[in-house]
Amino acid sequence: MSDETVDPLKRVEEQLKRCVKCGACRQNCPAFTAFGREPAVARGKVALAQHALKNDIDLDDQTYLAMSKCLLCGSCVDKCPNDVPTDEIVIAAREALAKRRGLTTFHAAVGHVIKNRSRMKMGAWMASLLGPLFFKKVPATSGLRLRFPMPFMGNTRHIPAIAGKPFIDRHPEVIPGEPGKPRIVFFVGCMTNFVYTEIGESALALFRHLGCTVIIPKDQQCCGLPGMSGGDIETVRELAEKNLAEMERYEADYVMSACATCSGALHRLYPLVIGKRNPELKIRLEALAAKTVDAAQLLHKLGLDPAATGGGEALRVTYHDPCHLRTRGVTKQPRELLKAAAGIDLAEMEGADRCCGLGGTFNVYHYGSSMTINNAKSDAIVATGAEAVATGCPGCMMQISDGLKQHGSRVEVLHTLQLLARGLRAKK
């Protein structure tokens, strides 16, 4: 029997049994902060999944709604005394819902777009050309705002502009470094490729400064995480297989990404979600995971001296922990690099480790609640008196920028690598 026919909830049956209903997972759950109701918190979702497995509740709209109220931030997993992996349970429940009810129109459309790189590229190109028809530039910011409301996009939302040329198309596939230095495959990710290309340029400048060979595989795809939000595991599997084959084309010491979500997918979620149901892929996915690192984590490991690459201009900076780095223990390295960078005065914000409210498509489905979560983040950033906030995930950057702009704040939102490469980029 193919493993694909197994009820996704059956795969997490043992994990479901571990929940003792203690409620410790309420602490720091952003969904509980936003909705204030039991089905939003891990304990409530675990209970719903237990009932769904026993078939004693309908997988109706209410169940769907409850399972959609999760940002997969992993805070509950950190707090749980019994190691209940709620994020894994929610992913399984969403897959079960999608299998029994079909994908929503929105998630079917998301899957259609992310599965096809050339379609995405064409969409990004059209968006960069037609942007002025739909968006207006917001004075004094680098963002855009919709001219009129569109489905799933309130017109108060601030959106970053699409780059004229994708990052991957600007560079050769192999950029040779010095003999004996690490060979690094760069998993760019959609946001860096199509929107925040400066992150990619900074990564390239920093790893070349260290003498590394940087390989940018041309046929790399979306990591698939937007599909995971809607239970579209088939799309995630297809993308994981394509990315795996593409990353395996080159002998490399590391697979690096400057996007916390993408490195989180390759490092943790591919083996956990796709490897578990497909033993043939499992070994290869685990080998990929073992090589996958976050960009700042790798720069720290390779001994980057940020005093030599920073810009020197005085800047008060605060740092936000992306959930996909925090849950993998990457918290010290970006801070140590920023502290050592010339001119940077690092000020800790309250709740730096709390989710910014993005949560994949949570931000689209529950925009109001996502911004309720984000308000606390904006307040904490502004309270530090920082001129810039650094983070390691382009998705968090988009969400934090939206929140800060709606607060009327001029705090700049930057990727950690942009700050670390200030000196190198200035010399170019």
Applying CB under 6 A, the residues found at the interface with ligand SF4 are: 19-25, 29-31, 41-43, 45-46, 70-76, 79-80, 82, 84, 86-87
Among residues 92 and 293, whose Cβ is nearest to ligand SF4?
92
Kindly give, in sequence order, each residue whose CB lies less than 8 Å from that of residue 57, ignoring residues fewer than 6 positions away.
48, 51, 63
* Smallest gap from residue 363 Cβ to ligand SF4 (A): 12
Among residues 46 and 53, whose Cβ is nearest to ligand SF4?
46
Among residues 46 and 233, whose Cβ is nearest to ligand SF4?
46
Among residues 61 and 83, whose Cβ is nearest to ligand SF4?
83
Q: What is the DSSP letter of 180?
A: T
Q: CA–CA separation, 34 vs 353, rounded Å?
A: 17
Kindly give, in sequence order, each residue whose CB lies less than 8 Å from that of residue 202, ignoring residues fewer than 6 positions away.
258, 415, 417, 418, 420, 421, 425
* Smallest gap from residue 164 Cβ to ligand SF4 (A): 36
Among residues 19 and 420, whose Cβ is nearest to ligand SF4?
19
In this structure, the number of other CB atoms found within 10 A of the CB of residue 119 comes to: 12
Among residues 29 and 96, whose Cβ is nearest to ligand SF4?
29
Helix locations, 135-163, DSSP H: none
Q: CA–CA separation, 375 vs 296, rounded Å?
A: 27
- Asked if residue 343 lies in contact with residue 312, where contact means CB atoms within 8 angstroms, the answer is yes
Among residues 19 and 214, whose Cβ is nearest to ligand SF4?
19
Among residues 22 and 130, whose Cβ is nearest to ligand SF4?
22
The token pair at 287 is 């080998």
Q: CA 216 → CA 183, 221, 250, 302, 334, distances in Å?
A: 11, 12, 10, 19, 23
Q: CA–CA separation, 59 vs 343, rounded Å?
A: 55
Q: What is the CA radius of gyration of the chain?
A: 21
* Smallest gap from residue 330 Cβ to ligand SF4 (A): 18
Q: CA–CA separation, 66 vs 90, rounded Å?
A: 10
* Smallest gap from residue 365 Cβ to ligand SF4 (A): 13
Q: Is the dihedral of CA 84, 85, 88, 90 positive or negative?
A: positive
Q: What is the DSSP letter of 408?
A: T
Q: What is the DSSP letter of 25?
A: G
* Smallest gap from residue 169 Cβ to ligand SF4 (A): 36
CA–centroid distance for 73 within its chain = 10
* Smallest gap from residue 267 Cβ to ligand SF4 (A): 17
* Smallest gap from residue 237 Cβ to ligand SF4 (A): 22
Do the strands 315-319 and 292-294 form a parallel or antiparallel pair, or are they unpaired?
unpaired
* Smallest gap from residue 333 Cβ to ligand SF4 (A): 23
* Smallest gap from residue 58 Cβ to ligand SF4 (A): 22
Among residues 31 and 98, whose Cβ is nearest to ligand SF4?
31
